[in-house]
Chains A and B, each alone.
Chain A
C-alpha cells in the first residue's frame, strides 16, 4: 500500500505537563523530527475523547498520537490510566472496522524526555509511511 513520497498526516494530542513539555524540550534542544504531526494541547491525556480520534481519522489524518505522562506521573494522578483503557478499547473497535490499530498510538513522554519525544515522532511517521494512507482518506 505504501506509496513513494507519501507523507502521513498526524494529529497529536499532548498533555500539557509531560508530553507537551517534552515536546518543548525537544525544541529547546533543537532535536529535529519530521513535521507531519500537528499538536493539540490538552491538560491531560485523560481529556482525550475516543470520538476525537475517530474524528481526526475521518477528517484526513493517517494517524493519531496521544502523549501523556508515564504511569504514576500524571499531573492529575490517574488521567493517563483512563486514557490507556480508552485507547485500548478504541483500538479494538478500529480493528473491527478495518482500520489498522497501529494508527493510534499512546506514548508516555516525561517533561525531561525531549529526545524521546523526537524519537517517538520519527518512529510513528516511519510506521505510518509503511502503512500508507488511511483507506478512504484520499491523498491524506
Chain B
C-alpha cells in the first residue's frame, strides 16, 4: 500500500500517515507507506523496491485518478517483476481530497483504499490481448484541417478516405477573401492543397457524402458512408457551364451565403475539387427528363446522367479524424441587430464573399439591398458571443482579427469610406496579430468604439446603429449604409449527432470534447478518434492546420503499429457452470458471444462492459479482475467501520 501526498494536493486535506497506518493493519497488507510524490522517480523506485523486497503479489497506489497514472505505476511494477494487472489505483485526489474537507476526507480515503486492496486480492495476472488493425484512416470534413490531416496521413504511407458532405472540399477557407495578418489571398494559398489532396495516390475523395454508421473500436472501426448522386460524371464534365445557363431554376447560393443565386446544376466555385458540376436533386425540377432535362440536352460531353444512384460504401478503418468545422450563429437568433430582416445587415462570412474577387460583386464592396457602394460601415464584434444571458457565453476567438481585416480591406476598397468597429475588448493573441490590429486602429477612417450596440434598425435607405461608447460615456448614433456582424462561431449542424454515433463526447455547445484539456487536446475519449479544427472550438487557420497535422500524427501512430493491444480485462465463461441458456448473447453490443453447449467470449471483440456478466443467472459469466466475489468484498471494505488509530500521535 502506497499513499501519495501529491504535495499538498492530497496531504493538505487527507492525513496520509493515518491512511497508511490504517491500511497497514488491513488483512493482507504486508507493507504500507506514504511518499511525497509517488509518480516521481524516487516514488516509483519505492514501489519497485518494495515489490522485490517483500515479494508483493499485488500493490495499491492511493493517489490521483487512475486516468492519470495507472500506466505509470503498472509499468513500474512490471519492471520489478509484478504483473501490471495486479496493481490498482485508489483515487483519493479527484474523488476525495479535492472535494472534501476535515477528518471525513481521511475516513473516506481509508475506505477507498481498502476497496482497492480487496480488489487487488482477487486480481489475476493477465497479459494484453493482441489485435490486428486496419491500415486506413477516415477523415470527416474537407476543410483546411481535414485536408491537412488527410495529406499528412497519406504522406506517411497510409490510405485515407476523405469524406465531405458538400460537393467540393475547401471548406470555409475557400469562402474567405484575404487572411489575417498577412493579407494573403485565401483561395490562392488553399487551392494548391486542394489539388494535392485530389491527386494524392493514397487519398480517396468522397465528396457529397456523409458518414452514416460507425461501429467497432480503436484500430478496427467499420464505417458506412452514403455518397449522394451528383448526376454529373466528373470525368466527363469539362466545366463549360452551358447546363447552368439553360437551367430555369435559381436558388440562393450556399457558397456566396445567399448573396447570389445559382442554378439547380452548379459548381460552387471555379476551383472546386472534384472539378465538376453537381445537380442538386432538391432544387431540380425533376430528374425525369420529360419534366425539364434542358441541361442534359446542351451537355456536349454527355456528362449528365439522370440514372446515377446513391452509393453505400462499407469500409474498415483503423483511425478516424473528425474535422467537421463550424458555421456562424444563425441570423434569426440575432433579431436585436436586425440580422435576417434588414438586408444591409450581414454577417462576417457574407462580407468575406463581398470582398472576394470570386464573390457576387467581383470584389467590389457593394451592399446587398441596392448594389450601392457603402460609405459608412459599422462592424459589430461579439455578436452572439460572450453573452451568457442571451446567446453564447464563449469567445469566438477569430472575430477580433477578421473584423480588423474587414475594416482595413473596406478602407482600401473605398478610400473615402468610414468604418466604425464596436468591440467589448480586443483579443489579438497570435503571431503578428497585435501589430495587425494596431495597424487597423491607427488607420485613418477606422474608428474603434468600445461599447455595446443596443439597437440596429432600418431608417429609409440607412441602417441606424445606436450604441454607447463606454470609454467616454457618450451615446453614439451612426446612420450606416452597411452593418457587418461578427457572428458567434458554432459547430456545423449535424456534427454533434455524428460525434454521438462515434461515441465521442461533445460539450454543452456542441463542440467536440478532447480527452484531456491540457494533455490530450487532439484525442476524443474514445480510442482511435481524433479532433481537428473548429469542430473542437473556434480556431483560426494556422491552429486548424496545426491540429490537423497533430491529429494525423496520432492516427499514424495507430496505423503503423505492428499490433494493437487490447485490455485483457474482459468477460470470461466458466464452462463448468454455464448451462448454455443463451441469456448473455443478445445482451452483447459487440456480438462477441457465441453459444453452443456453453457460451464462448471472443476476447478480441469483447470491450469489457460487463452487461452479460450482470445478466448471467448461473454466475458462469465473469469479468476478469472484477468478479462478483471481488465486488462483494469491496462493498464490505467500503462500509465496515474504520478502526481507531493504533496509537495517539503527538500526545
Q: Say whether B100 contacts A42, CB under 8 Å.
A: no
Q: Say whether B108 contacts A38, CB under 8 Å.
A: yes
- A52 to B639 Cα, complex, angstroms: 13
A22 CB, nearest partner CB in chain B, Å: 10
Q: Say whether B609 contacts A79, CB under 8 Å.
A: yes
| A93 CB-CB contact with B under 8 Å | no
Q: Say whether A111 contacts B93, CB under 8 Å.
A: no
A130 CB, nearest partner CB in chain B, Å: 20
What 14 new A-B contacts, CB under 8 Å, besides A44-B611, A46-B614, A49-B613? A17-B525, A23-B95, A24-B91, A24-B94, A27-B65, A38-B111, A38-B115, A40-B634, A43-B623, A52-B632, A55-B635, A76-B590, A77-B589, A112-B508
Which chain B residues lie closer than 8 Å to A9 at the CB level? 639
Q: Say whether A56 contacts B100, CB under 8 Å.
A: no
From 199 to 239 in chain B, residues with beta carbon under 8 angstroms from any chain A beta carbon are none
Chain A residue nearest to B107 in the complex (CB): A35
Q: List 5 A-B contacts (CB under 8 A).
A: A47-B614, A75-B526, A78-B589, A79-B589, A79-B609
B96, B508, B611: the one contacting A35 at CB < 8 Å is B96
| B288 CB-CB contact with A under 8 Å | no
Which chain A residues lie closer than 8 Å to B99 at the CB level? 26-27, 30-33, 35, 118
Which chain B residues lie closer than 8 Å to A30 at the CB level? 98-99
Q: Say whether B503 contacts A73, CB under 8 Å.
A: yes
A21, A27, A40, A78: the one contacting B631 at CB < 8 Å is A40
Chain A residue nearest to B111 in the complex (CB): A38
Which chain A residues lie closer than 8 Å to B615 at the CB level? 82
Which chain A residues lie closer than 8 Å to B104 at the CB level? 35
Which chain A residues lie closer than 8 Å to B182 at the CB level? none
Is the interface on chain B under 10, 10 to 19, 20 to 34, or 35 or more residues?
35 or more
Which chain A residues lie closer than 8 Å to B569 at the CB level? 43
Q: Say whether B635 contacts A21, CB under 8 Å.
A: no
Q: Say whether A32 contacts B100, CB under 8 Å.
A: yes
- Per-position binary interface string of chain B over residues 101-113, scored 1 when its CB falls under 8 Å from any chain A CB and 0 otherwise: 1001101100110
Which chain B residues lie closer than 8 Å to A33 at the CB level? 99-100
| B608 CB-CB contact with A under 8 Å | yes
| A92 CB-CB contact with B under 8 Å | no
Interface of B is mostly: helix
Going nearest first, the 7 A-B pairs with the smallest beta carbon separation are A47-B610, A27-B94, A46-B611, A76-B609, A38-B638, A35-B100, A27-B98
- Per-position binary interface string of chain A over residues 44-83, scored 1 when its CB falls under 8 Å from any chain B CB and 0 otherwise: 1011111110011001110000000000110111110010
| B442 CB-CB contact with A under 8 Å | no
| B500 CB-CB contact with A under 8 Å | yes
**A60-B609 in contact given A35-B104, A52-B631, A75-B503 (Cβ < 8 Å):** no
Which chain A residues lie closer than 8 Å to B94 at the CB level? 23-28
Q: Say whether B614 contacts A49, CB under 8 Å.
A: yes
Q: Say whether A52 contacts B67, CB under 8 Å.
A: no
Q: Which residues of A contact B (CB under 8 A)?
A: 9, 11, 17, 21, 23-28, 30-35, 38-44, 46-52, 55-56, 59-61, 72-73, 75-79, 82, 86, 110-112, 118
Q: Which residues of B contact A (CB under 8 A)?
A: 65-67, 91, 93-96, 98-101, 104-105, 107-108, 111-112, 115, 500, 503, 505, 507-508, 513, 525-526, 569, 587, 589-590, 607-611, 613-615, 623, 626, 628, 631-632, 634-636, 638-640
- A108 to B234 Cα, complex, angstroms: 49
Q: Say whether B98 contacts A21, CB under 8 Å.
A: no
B505, B608, B611, B628: the one contacting A73 at CB < 8 Å is B505
Chain A residue nearest to B506 in the complex (CB): A112
Chain B residue nearest to A48 in the complex (CB): B614
Which chain B residues lie closer than 8 Å to A23 at the CB level? 94-95
- A50 to B112 Cα, complex, angstroms: 21
A31, A39, A61: the one contacting B112 at CB < 8 Å is A39
Q: Say whether B626 contacts A47, CB under 8 Å.
A: yes
- A41 to B634 Cα, complex, angstroms: 11
Which chain A residues lie closer than 8 Å to B66 at the CB level? 41
Q: Say whether A111 contacts B505, CB under 8 Å.
A: yes
Which chain A residues lie closer than 8 Å to B638 at the CB level? 11, 38, 40, 56, 61
Which chain B residues lie closer than 8 Å to A34 at the CB level? 100
Q: Say whether A11 contacts B589, CB under 8 Å.
A: no
**A21-B67 in contact given A35-B96, A111-B525 (Cβ < 8 Å):** yes
Which chain A residues lie closer than 8 Å to B634 at the CB level? 40
**A59-B636 in contact given A39-B112, A47-B609, A112-B507 (Cβ < 8 Å):** yes
A14 CB, nearest partner CB in chain B, Å: 9
Which chain A residues lie closer than 8 Å to B95 at the CB level? 23-24, 26-27, 39
- A82 to B613 Cα, complex, angstroms: 12
**A11-B635 in contact given A44-B609, A44-B610, A79-B609 (Cβ < 8 Å):** yes
B107, B503, B610, B635: the one contacting A42 at CB < 8 Å is B610
B98 CB, nearest partner CB in chain A, Å: 4
B546 CB, nearest partner CB in chain A, Å: 24
- A11 to B99 Cα, complex, angstroms: 17
